[in-house]
Structure 1
Amino acid sequence: MNDPRFPGATILPFDGKLPRIHDSAFVAPGACIIGDVTIGPEASIWYKCVLRGDIHRIEVGARSNVQDGTVIHVEGPRPEAAVPTDGLPTIIGEDCVIGHMAIVHAAVVEDGSFVGMGAVAMDGARISTGAMLGAGALLSPGKVIPPGEIWVGRPARLLRAQDDAQIAKIRFQSARYVELARRHRAMLDGETQG
């Protein structure tokens, strides 16, 4: 299925649930958005990303960006488990930066947080407000990065607290990607009209 607002992107329903994408969002050609996915105002989903909301939901908040090649998935219900679960969604808050080739799987990324390039956040993990998971880091299942901390490594561990300049840089990156998305959309609109 093609959405004329996002030429070249694959946007598919699954089990009767169609992605809900705000008109002001940007979804790049080559991105795949499947099932129970909500993308908020001025958010951007970049080239070759996959957001697959087939067994639970995915939410991407306003002005957040999910950069090229990132994979976002969820954990479904497990009624047969020793402790039955309803599964885990992936929730990305507002003004978040999700770096190139990251994997966010059934995790929560709170407002104003940063996931570095190639980083992995696993089931039940949480990156709290204004926190950073460094490039290439692996946040193990259920781990929580407290607000404003930087964690790095595999498995990820505390490096230090962020300073005001680093927190401001996340806000800058979020705003920059809103503008970049506008420019890419204008370029693509020019191609489809010309």
Structure 2
Amino acid sequence: MSIILPVKGINPEFGNDCFIAPNATIVGDVKMGNKCSVWFNAVVRGDVNSITVGDESNIQDGAVIHATYLKAATVIGNRVNIGHNAIVHGCTVKDNVLIGMGAIVMDHAVVNEFCIIAAGSVVLENTICESGYIYAGTPAKKIKPITEEQRALLNKLPDNYIMYSDWFR
């Protein structure tokens, strides 16, 4: 069974039609929109600051979403894909973004709309990722504009995860 717990009297809140995997952990000040999914072994830990997730976003297997006490909340927009084993910490991720597998996004970074953060990349604290680009490396740097195919992928992935969620209902 999923671990869904209050912290200091604050319970996680979920929109309609969310899928939470049986071994996902979601605690504290977490507000999740409609049709979101939190996959196996993912942790969304709203204990030290708030975490907000927009509609139709997915937090894939093993990902960790956290924040920094008294300093940095985490805000994740609509139709965001957080890849397997990624870490999203005290930052803002706007709509229609892909955070690749194993990528890390640090405090006060802003990942703007239609960005791809490549697998294994590290977006350092206070970095602003310009809309419409791929960022890669450690530290992550702007590599090139996303293609029309990649933009289509950003539009399709959230729908795929909504479909995958239905397989478990």
TM class by shorter chain equals over 0.9
Note the C-alpha offset of 1:23: 3.3
Question: Over aligned residues, Cα RMSD in angstroms?
Answer: 0.7
Alignment length (residue pairs)? 169
Amino acid at match of 1:137: S
Alpha-carbon distance between aligned partners in 1 of 2:16 and 2:132, rounded to the nearest angstrom: 32
Alpha-carbon distance between aligned partners in 2 of 1:66 and 1:126, rounded to the nearest angstrom: 18
Amino acid at match of 1:130: F
Q: Counterpart in 1 of 2:47?
A: 54
- Name the SS of the counterpart of 1:100 in structure 2: coil
2:10 equivalent among 17, 20, 41: 17
Gaps spanning 5+ residues in structure 1: where? 1-7, 78-86, 187-194
Q: Normalising by structure 1, what TM-score?
A: 0.86
- Name the SS of the counterpart of 1:167 in structure 2: helix
Amino acid at match of 1:166: Q
Alpha-carbon distance between aligned partners in 2 of 1:76 and 1:176, rounded to the nearest angstrom: 34
| Runs of 4+ off more than 6 Å | none
Larger fraction in strand: 2
Q: Counterpart in 2 of 1:94?
A: 78
Q: Counterpart in 1 of 2:96?
A: 112
Amino acid at match of 1:132: I
Note the C-alpha offset of 1:57: 0.5
- Name the SS of the counterpart of 1:129 in structure 2: coil
- Name the SS of the counterpart of 1:160 in structure 2: strand
Alpha-carbon distance between aligned partners in 1 of 2:18 and 2:73, rounded to the nearest angstrom: 21
Q: Which has the larger radius of gyration?
A: 1
2:59 equivalent among 62, 66, 71: 66
Note the C-alpha offset of 1:170: 1.1
Alpha-carbon distance between aligned partners in 2 of 1:97 and 1:171, rounded to the nearest angstrom: 10
Q: Normalising by structure 2, what TM-score?
A: 0.98
State, as a whole percentage, how many aligned pairs show the same letter: 36
